[in-house]
Chains A and B, each alone.
Chain A
Amino acid sequence: EAGVTQFPSHSVIEKGQTVTLRCDPISGHDNLYWYRRVMGKEIKFLLHFVKESKQDESGMPNNRFLAERTGGTYSTLKVQPAELEDSGVYFCASSQVEGVLAEAFFGQGTRLTVV
């Protein structure tokens, strides 16, 4: 069974450009999460989808970030326009069940570099 996959694995863009990251969760996983790690910092939560609905988007840094999950399958995270401080590794994770012990499976991450 395929795990969580993310595209692209690396992206280098100029400040002011737009970038779209994609995440394909494990098939059948209703819960999908986005996280990111900026240089030297810990991984931080961005948002949580349950199917196509945003359950919690309290971690989204500002309105330059837009996450979608149309149809409740794959998700995209768009950054527009990108700023230098957006550089980091963006992780997607998915889980099958809800609840406090739901085990989240992570993708390999997308390394975003804004120059």
Chain B
Amino acid sequence: KNQVEQSPQSLIILEGKNCTLQCNYTVSPFSNLRWYKQDTGRGPVSLTIMTFSENTKSNGRYTATLDADTKQSSLHITASQLSDSASYICVVSPNLHYGGSQGNLIFGKGTKLSVKP
């Protein structure tokens, strides 16, 4: 069964500190891996999209890494801000050529990040 596992489930950090969120997946073959930020009461917002051939991608203070060999990804947040408090969701897209479909994304449960002043 294709799965996406995230850790930790929740995390509390102080404003200004860095943190790293982890994502392990078993989806194979896969097309791309995405990180989304979801604020409470809102829909997920895309942070990064990486294909299997990319190792790292940055979006401001967010940097995602991908190791397709070990099937692991991480999201590093630098100099955290109070507005970073949200759930961060790792999403894997199965390969279209092997029966996957564009919208049939496989979501992790997310890591709930709380940034305290």
Question: Which positions in A face B, CB cutoff 8 Å?
Answer: 4, 31, 33, 35, 41-45, 47-48, 55-56, 58-59, 91, 93, 95, 98-109
Cβ of B93 within 8 Å of any chain A Cβ, yes or no, is: yes
Whether the pair A100, B103 counts as a contact (CB closer than 8 A) is no
Give the interface centre of B31, B41, B43 by most chain A CB atoms within 10 Å. Answer: B43
Question: Count of B residues near A, CB < 8 Å?
Answer: 25
Question: Could you tell me the distance in whole angstroms from the C-beta of B76 to the nearest C-beta in chain A?
Answer: 21
Whether the pair A43, B101 counts as a contact (CB closer than 8 A) is no
A-B contact pairs, 28 of them (CB 8 A): A4-B43, A31-B102, A35-B105, A41-B109, A42-B4, A42-B109, A43-B89, A43-B107, A45-B103, A45-B104, A45-B105, A45-B106, A48-B103, A55-B101, A55-B103, A56-B101, A58-B104, A93-B43, A95-B102, A100-B31, A100-B32, A100-B96, A100-B102, A101-B51, A104-B46, A107-B43, A108-B42, A109-B41
Q: Which residues of B contact A31 (CB under 8 A)?
A: 102-103
With A43-B89, A100-B96 given, is the CB distance from A48 to B104 under 8 Å?
yes
Question: Which positions in B face A, CB cutoff 8 Å?
Answer: 4, 31-32, 41-46, 49, 51, 89, 93, 95-96, 101-110
Whether the pair B32, A101 counts as a contact (CB closer than 8 A) is yes
